[in-house]
Amino acid sequence: MEASRNLKVNLKLEGQTCIACKTELKLADDASICTACEANHHARCWNSYGGCATKGCVNAPLRRMDAPVYATPAAPPPLPPGMVHCRSCRNVIRDFDPMCPYCRVITSPDGIYHGPKTNAPGAVQSMVFGIIGLLICGVVFGPLAIARSSSAKREIAMNPMYGGGGYATAGLVLGILDLVAFVILMMIRMGNT
């Protein structure tokens, strides 16, 4: 069903008022009559209004929901000299920090940690246990060297501030040598008996 009847203003409609613009309809003007409430409109008024201008009419255009107007946020205050935002967590950090103290992300442009490193816990210890195992009781100190080496390598992989990978590798190799030397020594002793 059409929302309006479109016609030329005839003698019956001439002089009646357009409900939208409140002016008279003139003979031979294009008119639109609402099929729901029979209100008279100029055709141009019906089109510009988007439907019937009578409040509550079923052919009245739906009320537009304008987007809410939000105030633009104020610009953040400038950062002090030597301070920047972390590219990951957006906290303020020192420009020369090699790693964000909040989210632990590396801040260098190439993504490689260039700051100071300390030996990982157990890295030097694994090497010492490996050396001791070569001298005395390799069956005890060999597994200790291997365990400390594995722990140190995990720490190095998780935290770029840790170094000592060479010590951990040396401890691993020495721990394996301790066990091999112990097995060889046991085989020699068993062969002599």
Condensed to tens digits (0 to 9), the pLDDT of residues 32-56 reads 999 889 999 999 998 888 889 888 8
Q: pTM score > 0.85 for this model?
A: no
Please give the pLDDT value at position 132.
92
- Model confidence at 153: pLDDT above 90: yes
Transcribe the chain into DSSP letters: --SEEEEE--TTTTTPBPTTT--BPPTT-EEEEETTT--EEEHHHHHHHTS--STT-TTSPPPP-PPPPPPPPPPPPPPPTTEEE-TTT--EEETT-SB-TTT--B-STTS---S--EEPTTHHHHHHHHHHHHHS-HHHHHHHHHHHHHHHHHHHHH-TTEE-HHHHHHHHHHHHHHHHHHHHHHHHHHHH-
- Model confidence at 78: pLDDT above 90: no
Whether the CB-CB separation of 92 and 83 falls below 8 Å is answered with yes
Please give the pLDDT value at position 95.
86
| Per-residue confidence band for 65, with pLDDT thresholds at 50, 70 and 90 | low
pLDDT tens by residue, 155-184: 988 888 889 999 999 999 999 999 999 899
Mean pLDDT throughout 97-117? 83
Please give the pLDDT value at position 1.
65
